[in-house]
A = this chain, B = another copy of it.
C-alpha cells in the first residue's frame, strides 16, 4: 500500500525524516508492505530538498502540501505556534492525517486538535513532541494502559541537564551556558530552556496522556535554573543528592499537579546518573511499579525516528483499515490543582553575617512559621565575613516556606539577597 507524505519543514528533523525514507524505504515495503512516498516538501528554502534530489517536490507555500490530492499524511515540523497550527488544522480539515513534533501546540491546543481529528476519523501523531527519540508517548498510550499512573518525573530538557552536569563539575552558571551555546546545545536566547518553559510544555503533554486529563502549559508551575550556583550543586552532592531540573506531574486526591523546578534527588536514584544532554522519564504505575525511559532527547536522528515511527504506525493502521484508533480517549473529569497543595522538603541556602545568634534567630522564624528543620549546615568562607547557612526542611507547605524566607530577609542579617531554593524529591 502506498502512503504519500507531505513534509512541512526541512530543518534538522525534517532532513532526518527524508533520510529515513530514502534509506529505509525498501525495508518498510518488504517488512510491512508499506510503500512510503514523499510527494511534497515545503520550506522557506529549497536547498535541503534540492540537495537530496527532491527539488521537484518543493514549494515555499504550505497550502501546496495541505491542499494536495497526492498527500495522505502531513508531517508538520515548522515548530512554534504561528503557521504551524494553520498547517495542522488545515491538513485535518482537508481530511489528511497529521504527524507533528510540535510541543508548543500540543501543550496548548492539543486537546482541541486531538478531538477534532478523532471526530473526523483522522490521526494526530505527536510522539516526537516529548523526549526526542525516546519512546514515551507510545508506551503511555499502549503498553502501560492497564495502570493507574501515579507520577511521572522527567529530565526532559537536554540543554539544562548539560549545563547542570557541567556546573556539578565546577563551572559557574554563566560558564556552563556559554559552553552549551558554543557546543550548539543552547540557543543564543536560552530563555525557553533555562527558564523551564520547554520542560513545562513536555510535562503538560505527558500529564494529559498519563492521567487522561485536560491540562495546558499555563497550568504548569515553572521555575528555571538561573538562580542555581555551582556551590549549591557541590553542597547537594556532599549531602548525597544530585540537582536536576525536573518536570514532575502527580495525580493526588485533589487533582493533578504539574511542575518544573530544580530538585535534589538521591544520588542512587536512576535519574541522578542521567547526565549531559540525555533525557529520561521515570513513570510509576499501580501495577507496573517503577519504570524508566532513557535516551537522546533531541537532535536530528532521534526526533526523526519518533516522527517516522508515528508515520509508519499510522500507515500500518490505514492499511489494516482502521485509521482512527489514535489513542484518543475521553478525558476524565479531574481538576488541575496548584503546586501550593503539595508539601515538600526544601533546601535553602542563605548567605548571612557571621555573628553570634544568627542561626538561633533564623531557626525561630522557621519554627514560628510552621516549618520543621531536618538539618542545618554552616559553611564558612575564609575570604569573607559572612557564611553560608544551608537548611534542609522536613515536608512543608510552600506558603509557610515563603513566609519564613520573607521574614528572614527582613531580619537584617542576610548579606546575600534571596536564598537558593531547591526542592528535595526523596
A369 CA / B301 CA spacing, docked (Å): 42
In the complex, the answer to whether B294 meets A270 with C-beta atoms within 8 Å is: yes
By a CB distance below 8 angstroms, the chain B residues around A355 are: none
Interface residues of A in 2-24 (CB under 8 A from B): 16, 19-20, 23-24
Given contacts A291-B134, A294-B291, A296-B291, contact A309 B31 (CB under 8 A): no
Chain A: residues with Cβ within 8 Å of the partner, total of 62
In the complex, the answer to whether B305 meets A285 with C-beta atoms within 8 Å is: yes
Given contacts A30-B332, A302-B287, A305-B285, contact A294 B292 (CB under 8 A): yes
A174 at the interface (CB under 8 A from B): no
Which one of B19, B139, B301, B312 contacts A139 once the chains associate, using CB atoms below 8 Å? B139
Chain B, Cβ-Cβ closest to A300: B287
A288 CA / B299 CA spacing, docked (Å): 9
A394 at the interface (CB under 8 A from B): no
Interface string of A85-109 (1 = CB under 8 A from B): 0000000000000000000000000
A95 CA / B408 CA spacing, docked (Å): 73
A302 CA / B324 CA spacing, docked (Å): 29
Interface residues of A in 309-328 (CB under 8 A from B): 309, 311-313, 316-317, 319-322, 324-325
> What distance in Å separates the Cβ of A222 from its nearest Cβ neighbour in chain B?
27
In the complex, the answer to whether B289 meets A292 with C-beta atoms within 8 Å is: no
In the complex, the answer to whether A146 meets B24 with C-beta atoms within 8 Å is: yes
By a CB distance below 8 angstroms, the chain B residues around A302 are: 287-289
A148 CA / B25 CA spacing, docked (Å): 12
By a CB distance below 8 angstroms, the chain B residues around A309 are: 142-146
By a CB distance below 8 angstroms, the chain B residues around A212 are: 31
In the complex, the answer to whether B295 meets A148 with C-beta atoms within 8 Å is: no
A127 at the interface (CB under 8 A from B): yes
Interface string of A114-128 (1 = CB under 8 A from B): 000000000000010
Which one of B19, B144, B322 contacts A305 once the chains associate, using CB atoms below 8 Å? B144
In the complex, the answer to whether A317 meets B308 with C-beta atoms within 8 Å is: no
Which one of B291, B305, B321 contacts A288 once the chains associate, using CB atoms below 8 Å? B305
Interface string of A350-367 (1 = CB under 8 A from B): 000000000000000000
A19 CA / B294 CA spacing, docked (Å): 30
Which one of B16, B142, B291, B322 contacts A287 once the chains associate, using CB atoms below 8 Å? B16
> What distance in Å separates the Cβ of A399 from its nearest Cβ neighbour in chain B?
34
A330 at the interface (CB under 8 A from B): yes
Chain B, Cβ-Cβ closest to A282: B294
In the complex, the answer to whether B317 meets A146 with C-beta atoms within 8 Å is: no
In the complex, the answer to whether A133 meets B273 with C-beta atoms within 8 Å is: no
In the complex, the answer to whether B295 meets A288 with C-beta atoms within 8 Å is: yes
- List of 10 A-B pairs having minimum Cβ-Cβ separation, nearest first: A322-B322, A291-B295, A135-B143, A146-B308, A133-B288, A135-B139, A320-B322, A287-B305, A320-B325, A288-B305
Q: A142-B309, A145-B312, A147-B305 are in contact. List 5 more A-B contacts (CB 8 A).
A: A32-B329, A142-B142, A146-B311, A273-B273, A322-B322
26 pairs, CB–CB < 8 Å, chain A vs chain B:
A20-B146, A23-B148, A27-B148, A31-B329, A134-B291, A135-B135, A135-B142, A138-B139, A139-B139, A143-B306, A143-B309, A145-B312, A146-B309, A146-B311, A147-B305, A270-B274, A287-B304, A287-B305, A289-B301, A289-B302, A291-B295, A292-B292, A292-B295, A293-B294, A319-B325, A322-B325
